[in-house]
Copies of this chain bind each other. A is one copy, B any other.
């Protein structure tokens, strides 16, 4: 049996089943970051993620600088998804034969800029060949920190909690669509904005910190939207042992996303519900605290947040409710970089 018969998550679950642990490992495999208590004032957060040419990016539509930015940004987003602050990065490059030096310098220029903006230091790394002429890859490990008692995981959502999302999920997928199918009469300004969201995602670090300050009694679960809203909501539900119902009429659709959907004849909901690489934050708020959270975000001038549904009993699964009250099951159709066809 080929490994690609499994989703990335099934495969990780199978390979890492029953790994030993110790008491200082507060969160291990299965959340956005591992959480360690190494005896300092704060807890350590650890995450690693890759960007591979032909799987996650192509230099035909992104510059090396943009790829460097994004490779670090997706790891920063994993720190944001625990409520933490990023601190240190290790960068491992896999370089195909014949790769121009300018490409690597461009990647590093993007990495440096993204790191500086997030007050993160690049403290180590490694360079290797790929063994062939393809497959340029960046593997980044990021260390962050978070105060004790402030860690937000995927596992704390309760029945009756309200589901929120930051910003405008689906924009990255719409931007990617316009890059893959460039021949529709897209409105240029909207198109440029959505492509930029796709190429240069902005990790929601400030918003993650706000949620962490509110604490796990109020913000019961948190994840970043990397696989798509439906897929990442499913991760929260699975880890928390709950179900969820999203209100179609409450989902935030940006004007630019609506414009691209209209121009290409696509259903904008598909992008919003199933588009990946948004790096928005999806979180649940204990019943009665919704206004507190909204006031805190407004006072801080943070990203807009939208209540989009409720946590339900596990037996109800994932559901969508339309404005007329009609309900249907919400299928998870995430982009899976592991099993999906190559992007290149």
Binding site for B on A (CB under 8 A): 1-6, 8, 11-12, 14-16, 19-22, 25, 28-29, 33-34, 36, 38-42, 44, 46-50, 52-56, 88, 90, 92, 94-95, 97-105, 108, 112, 116, 121-132, 134-135, 137, 139, 141, 143, 145, 337-338, 342, 344
Give me the 6 closest cross-chain CB pairs, A-B, nearest first.
Answer: A54-B131, A40-B40, A39-B40, A141-B141, A34-B123, A139-B139
The answer on a CB contact under 8 Å between A29 and B131 is no
Q: Which residue of B lies closest to A88 (CB)?
A: B36
Contact (A130, B135) CB under 8 Å given A3-B101, A104-B11:
yes
Pick the contact of A122 from B5, B29, B42, B100 — CB < 8 Å? B29
* Cα distance, A1 to B99, chains bound together (Å): 9
Complex interface: chain B residues within 8 A of A128 (CB): 8, 50, 52, 55-56, 137, 337-338
* Cα distance, A139 to B99, chains bound together (Å): 20
* Cα distance, A143 to B338, chains bound together (Å): 27
Q: Which residue of B lies closest to A103 (CB)?
A: B3
The answer on a CB contact under 8 Å between A134 and B137 is no
Complex interface: chain B residues within 8 A of A143 (CB): 36, 46
Q: What are 7 A-B contacts defined by CB distance under 8 Å?
A: A1-B100, A28-B123, A128-B338, A130-B135, A131-B134, A131-B342, A139-B139
Complex interface: chain B residues within 8 A of A1 (CB): 100-102
The answer on a CB contact under 8 Å between B90 and A129 is no
Contact (A101, B134) CB under 8 Å given A50-B126, A122-B16:
no
The answer on a CB contact under 8 Å between B129 and A52 is yes
Pick the contact of A19 from B50, B122, B129 — CB < 8 Å? B122
* Cα distance, A150 to B103, chains bound together (Å): 39
The answer on a CB contact under 8 Å between A125 and B22 is no
Least CB distance from A308 to B in Å reads 28
The answer on a CB contact under 8 Å between A104 and B36 is no
The answer on a CB contact under 8 Å between B34 and A92 is no
The answer on a CB contact under 8 Å between B50 and A2 is no
Pick the contact of A124 from B22, B48, B53, B126 — CB < 8 Å? B48
The answer on a CB contact under 8 Å between B88 and A12 is no
The answer on a CB contact under 8 Å between A88 and B34 is yes
Least CB distance from A3 to B in Å reads 5
The answer on a CB contact under 8 Å between A90 and B141 is yes
Q: Which residue of B lies closest to A28 (CB)?
A: B123
Least CB distance from A316 to B in Å reads 31
Among A5, A108, A124, residue most surrounded by chain B Cβ atoms (within 10 Å) = A124
The answer on a CB contact under 8 Å between A135 and B131 is yes
Among A1, A36, A99, A128, residue most surrounded by chain B Cβ atoms (within 10 Å) = A128
